[in-house]
């Protein structure tokens, strides 16, 4: 069972050039005529490659859904076409729509929502046995099977955006986004934010540059040394309740490179039991600041599924690579 994306604040998303705020582990948007956005990019946890999905679950917690005509959640396929929408249909009401034969088709009834709510959407792309489910706070409100959902094949981007049309006094806030192959109902995202330096070999800056509850690109850590590693300590997570399991762990960073000389990339790094484990692939890094996520769906120190929080409450950070 794979986890393709885990989202917290803006450091997890590829965002619009302006308008996407960071609000204590969530991404938020003020009401605006222009829909600002944050994109969830699913990637293979084994290779880091971007993936196109035909069968998956999507989970997100949302506060304020928007009024008529504004889409809060949009799914795009590999052709960069919109194929699924959660569309505002009035004050705090939404509808799930899919694209079929070039036209938008509503699936199920309008769902009255408020703030905050947990959405879980199940998508299965198939020409005759397709499936689409929409759950709100763990309750299934839309369940349709045996559909032609072939046009939903190859979804490789899910957009969260401002869902309030022209009312700057209101906002839309998203948190706890997950894209996965397993049922996401009841799952939560727990965050650890740097609060101390654990070790630093070759980086300029410290945890104080990356510990904001609200992101500031003006504060940054940087290095010009390939192989340089910086690790941070953070708040410890409480033990998982009995019967709960940890599906995956991710490291997210709002990161850029300046081109030219190496290093131009970086890997997510964990320190477990005194040993350092870097992801087998680089973050997706480009010339401008953008969120990037690396998912560890197994404990790198054992190669097995995560077992509790013992190996999660550890130093984490970055290693610079060519």
* CATH number corresponding to 3-180: 2.60.120.200
Helix H, strand E, coil C: the string for the chain is CCEEEEECCHHHCEECCCCCEECCCCEEEECECCCCEEEECCECCCCCCECCECEEEEEEEEECCCCCCCEEEEEEECCCCEEEEEEEEECCEEEEEEEECCEEEECCCCEECCCCEEEEEEEECCCCCEEEEEEECCEEEEEEEEECCHHHCCEEEEEEECCCECCCCCEEEEEEEEEECCCCCCCCCCCCCEEEEEEEECCECCHHHCCCCCCCCCCCCECCCCCCEEEEEECCCCCCCCCCCCCCEEEEEEECCCCCCCCCEEEEEEEECCEEEECCCCCCCCCCCEEEEEEECCCCCCCCCCCCCCCCCCCEEEEEEC
Q: Which is higher by pLDDT, 31 or 3?
A: 3
Predicted confidence (pLDDT) at residue 169 exceeds the cutoff of 70: no
Residue 170 CB neighbours (<10 A) = 17
**Encoding tokens for residue 306?**
């995560």
Give the mean pLDDT of 162-179.
76
Residue closest to 187 by CA, chosen among 138, 148, 233: 138
Q: Which is higher by pLDDT, 9 or 84?
A: 84
pTM: predicted TM-score of the whole model, two decimal places? 0.94
- Residues with Cβ within 8 Å of 164's Cβ and at least 6 positions away in sequence, in order, are 29, 30, 31, 32, 64, 66, 67, 70, 170, 171, 172
* pLDDT tens digits, one per residue of 122-150: 999 999 999 999 998 898 989 999 989 99
Residue 73 CB neighbours (<10 A) = 24
Sign of CA dihedral 35, 191, 92, 77: positive
Predicted confidence (pLDDT) at residue 34 exceeds the cutoff of 60: yes
Give the mean pLDDT of 29-35.
72
Q: pLDDT value at position 28?
A: 86
Q: Using an 8 Å Cβ cutoff, are 187 and 178 in contact?
A: yes
Q: pLDDT value at position 33?
A: 63
Mean pLDDT of the chain: 89
Q: pLDDT value at position 167?
A: 58
**Encoding tokens for residue 75?**
């799914």
Predicted confidence (pLDDT) at residue 196 exceeds the cutoff of 70: yes
Residue closest to 231 by CA, chosen among 256, 201, 258, 259: 201
**Weakest mean pLDDT among 47-56, 59-68, 165-174, 279-288:** 165-174
* pLDDT tens digits, one per residue of 68-121: 556 789 999 999 999 999 877 666 677 888 988 889 888 877 766 556 789 999
- Compute the residue count for the chain: 322
Q: In this prediction, what percent of the chain has a pLDDT beyond 70?
A: 90
Distance of alpha carbon 262 from alpha carbon 245, whole angstroms: 39
């Amino acid at each position: 069972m794979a986890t393709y994306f885990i989202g917290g604040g803006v450091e997890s998303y590829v965002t619009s050039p302006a308008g996407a705020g960071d609000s204590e582990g969530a991404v938020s948007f003020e009401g605006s005529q222009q829909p600002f956005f944050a994109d969830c990019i699913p990637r293979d946890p084994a290779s880091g490659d971007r993936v196109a999905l035909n069968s998956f679950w999507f989970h997100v917690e949302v506060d304020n859904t928007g009024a008529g005509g504004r889409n809060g959640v949009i799914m795009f396929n590999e052709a960069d076409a919109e194929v699924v929408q959660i569309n505002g249909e009035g004050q705090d009401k939404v509808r799930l729509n899919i694209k079929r034969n070039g036209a938008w088709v509503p699936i199920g009834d309008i769902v009255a929502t408020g703030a905050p709510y947990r959405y879980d959407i199940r998508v299965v792309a198939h020409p005759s046995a397709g499936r689409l489910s929409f759950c709100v706070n763990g309750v299934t409100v839309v369940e349709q099977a045996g559909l032609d959902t072939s046009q939903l094949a190859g979804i490789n981007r899910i957009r969260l955006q401002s869902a309030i049309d022209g009312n700057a006094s209101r906002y839309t806030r998203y948190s706890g986004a997950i894209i996965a192959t397993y049922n996401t109902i009841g799952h939560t995202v727990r965050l650890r934010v740097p609060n101390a330096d654990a070790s630093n070999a070759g980086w300029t800056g410290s945890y104080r540059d990356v510990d904001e509850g609200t992101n500031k690109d003006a504060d940054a850590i940087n290095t010009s040394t390939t192989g340089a590693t910086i690790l941070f300590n953070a708040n410890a997570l409480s033990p998982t309740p009995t019967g709960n399991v940890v599906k995956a762990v991710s490291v997210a960073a709002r990161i850029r490179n300046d081109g030219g000389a190496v290093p131009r990339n970086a890997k997510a790094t964990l320190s477990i039991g005194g040993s350092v484990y870097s992801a087998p692939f680089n973050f997706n890094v480009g010339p401008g600041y953008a969120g990037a996520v690396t998912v560890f769906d197994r404990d790198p120190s054992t190669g097995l599924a995560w077992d509790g929080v013992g190996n999660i409450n550890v130093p984490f950070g970055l290693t610079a690579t060519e």
